[in-house]
Amino acid sequence: MHQNPRSLTEGSIWKSMLLFALPIFWGNLFQQFYNAFDSWVVGRFLGDTALAAVSSSASLIFMMVGFFNGVAMGAGIVISRYFGARDYGTMNRVIHTDLIFGLMAGVLLTFFGVTFTPVILGWMGTPEQVMPQSVSYFRYYSLGSIFSVMYNVLVGILHAVGDSRHPLYYLIISTVVNVVLDLLFVGVFRWGVGSAAMATTISQGISALLCFLYLLRVKEPYRLEIGQIRFHPSAFRSIIRMGLPSGVQNSVIAFANVVVQSNINFFGAAAMAGCGSYSKLEGFAFLPITCFSMALSTFVGQNLGARNYDRVRKGLAFGILSPVIAAELVGIVSYLFAPQLIAFFNDSAEVVAYGTLHMRTICLFYCLLSFSHCIAGILRGAGKTTVPMTVMLVCWCLIRVTYIRIAVGYVPQLQSVSWAYPITWTCSSILFLIYFLKADWIHAFDKMEVKAEL
């Protein structure tokens, strides 16, 4: 029987989880680095207004790609389950259907982003002086939507089978390309804020292409075959069943963040630039959260597929505590050095003041954010995708938007907006903890079986 050295179904639990999570950590670190570098170059060479334009587009970009990336995440759960069960025939039908889904989603997002950018930015209350550069940045970014979606689809396949090393290699390459092009397009040629998005688009295209070429030539059972790329209705139903809740979850969170960004826009370009600088720094705090959340989903999915129920139970404590502690340590460091970190992007006194206020209101609560994401990752790996969707829909969308509408109305200050995050992270953590401790699924792994769904 075929054995894959990347399988998370055997060996030391903590070691296999770390060996899988660490490349994701380093890969996301490089990805976050080039995202932050975009903002640094724009802020240093083009000024506050250009940095505000990039910042105002971030939540809108996530809203666009978040749904499809969530569905791709669901496909990864299905793939990991069949990979753990060594049902490679079914796994391949899911993989090739997932590829077609990514191509269709990328084309749709490109059209939508290029066509409707000005309208959506107008709905967000983007200030008039920022609008032209926001439109330019977002439209250039939208041209590369297909690369962004395809990269997430292809990386999702690799992560599902336990390969987190190759995505790391490709992210390192794309990061170097992005840094060089940012300096060339913005710093040397002075082509404007749209060229920063162009640099990101090119680098994402390179990483997606490298992933695709690797999957074409790999000798493992998850190899892509051009001749087998076709739409399998039963595989697509499984992808949607697992992925739709994650996609909806990403979309509603993104919508709530667009509402948050709209309220930040109300305080002007300096507040937009300061909070935008913080959002780039916040991405670094998410690194231990993201890598362990992915590791937990893959670990749970593969081991449930292999029916290693006791191994799943044993892996949960390590998989939850490690990122929670790491995230809180990052939060403490962020609080202590907030002014210096914000000033790295733009040293305007007003920008630094807004960014520091925003950061110090939020960063000590990273432990709660980490806990919520880890439990959500476990539940997704167990196929309980509707639970995190429901919790985050209620807490991170309905409660967050309602709170902002009320709080900003009574106390029209930036800090009123900032508190939306700690409050809603607390709510989701409480609900997840209650479900995690009381729900029957945590005590019934030994009763679960992999069903031949396709």
Residue whose token pair is 């087998």: 228
pLDDT(445) > 60:
no
| Closest to 354 measured CA to CA, from 225, 265, 434 | 265
Instruction: Please give the residue that has the higher pLDDT: either 442 or 452.
Output: 442
| pLDDT over 70 (residue 447) | no
Dihedral sign (CA 18, 22, 25, 27): negative
Q: What is the pLDDT of residue 3?
A: 41
DSSP string for 386-435: HHHHHHHIIIIIIIHHHHHHHHHHHS-SHHHHHTHHHHHHHHHHHHHHHH
The reported pTM is 0.73
Of 13-27, 51-65, 138-152, the one with minimum mean pLDDT is: 51-65
Identify the residue with better confidence: 39 or 281.
281
pLDDT-derived band at 5 (thresholds 50, 70, 90) equals: very low
Per the CB < 8 A criterion, the answer to whether 269 and 53 are in contact is no
Left, alpha or beta for 383 (phi > 0: left; psi -120 to 50: alpha)?
Answer: left
> What are the boundaries of each domain within the chain?
13-447
Give the whole-angstrom CA distance, residue 407 versus residue 429. 22
Looking at residues 240-253, what average pLDDT do you find? 81
Answer whether 127's CB lies under 8 Å from 135's CB.
no
Contact by Cβ (8 Å): 423, 403: yes
Weakest-pLDDT range from 98-102, 116-120, 202-206: 116-120
**pLDDT class of 427 with cuts at 50, 70, 90:** very high
In this prediction, residue 6 carries a pLDDT of: 57
Does 271 have pLDDT greater than 50?
A: yes
Q: What is the DSSP letter of 192?
A: -
pLDDT by residue (tens digit) across 400-420?
A: 989 998 998 888 888 899 999
Cα 120 to Cα 117: distance, rounded to the nearest angstrom:
5
